[in-house]
Amino acid sequence: MNAPAGSPETMLAARVHGPRDVRLDEITVPAPGLGEALVRIGACGICGSDLGYIAQGGLGGVEPLKAPLPIGHESAGTVVAVGDGVRGVSPGMRVAINPDRAYIGGGGPDGAMAPFLRVQGAEIGETLFALPDGLSFAHASLAEPLSVGLHGLRVANACASDRIAILGAGPIGLCTLVMAQHLGARDIAIFDRVPERLERARALGAGLAINVAEKSLPDALGRFHGAGERFGAPFVGTDVFVDCAGSAAALAEVVSVAKYRARICVIALHHKPLALDLWRVMANELSLSGSIADSRAAEFGETIAMLAEGGRDLSALVSHAYDFSHFQEALEMAADPARAAKVVLTFGEGL
């Protein structure tokens, strides 16, 4: 397949070759086929899962890769060409990209850490979301992690009146905080061990931001959300817990202090099995659910609409932007929780 007119024939694309082996490979710029669009990327965020794929040498790190793994799934850019059968999408459209349908950057054949991205099943409102001119590509790329947080909250049936606690103040935890506020929640607590992350949470409007290395989660939540006793055991008044940390100890502690009919949603990756107190799950009728956010077109669109409205200062969420030519430096920054929140790669017009 040849590159579309006006595009280079080759490009550099970030691909994982093995554990701790990520390279910028020179590959052919794809031409869009049936039902596909080609997007010139303006910005692509670096996700913790990208860093995990690099460290593990693949999606699971169990079997060697049969082919290099393209990475990058938090992206926005400009449509430059469309294939046959595509309706409602035309060159020049500014779009954010929902990676779910073709597992973009997550096991599929294409990744967004490259100047051009082929989008299979190109469809407005499903894989592509039109952007207003005033919304930068860097901020539009936040639709992907923000919609991850929104999906988890929706799985937990979170609403404006809920008292919410978020475990972990990394990028997904901060995105969950923003989307909990979008739903109207106000009594939101967030927990982490990194002071700089907690400062970002406070800047984004967290009602309580606690360092669990210094203060007890149950004690802090008991003061903030209220406390009580059931069957001789203490509980906190939190309605919804969202696990964005992946800490087995923290999740077990939540189960031990969750109130009657509290809801717990796990967004974080847990790499090992966890023993839970199932007596408490039963006796307190706890709801425990997972959220992988791989079918969330409606939530993606809702997030884009929120970003387009403006009015929210998300500067504490995007900590760094690097031109793609500084790829390795950007990865190193993204891996430093004390300095970085969301790190975004830009491609000439991302900001």
What's the pLDDT tens digit per position in 208-240? Answer: 999 999 999 999 999 999 999 999 999 999 999
Q: What is the CATH T-level fold of the domain 149-290, as seen in this structure?
A: Rossmann fold (3.40.50)
Q: What is the CATH T-level fold of the domain 10-142+317-346, as seen in this structure?
A: Quinone Oxidoreductase; Chain A, domain 1 (3.90.180)
Q: Do residues 59 and 144 touch, judged by C-beta distance below 8 A? A: no
Nearest C-alpha neighbor of 309 from the set 143, 90, 180: 143
The residue extents of the domains of the chain are 10-142+317-346, 149-290
Q: What is the mean pLDDT of the chain?
A: 94
Task: Give the whole-angstrom CA distance, residue 125 versus residue 119.
Answer: 13
Residue positions counted in the chain: 351
Please indicate, yes or no, whether the overall pTM of this predicted structure exceeds 0.85.
Answer: yes
pLDDT of residue 295: 87
pLDDT digits (tens, 9 = 90+) for 113-153: 999 999 999 999 999 999 999 999 999 999 999 999 999 99
3: pLDDT confidence band, cut at 50, 70 and 90?
A: low
pLDDT of residue 7: 74
Q: By CB neighbour count within 10 A (0-12 exposed, 13-18 middle, 19+ buried), where does 61 fall?
A: middle
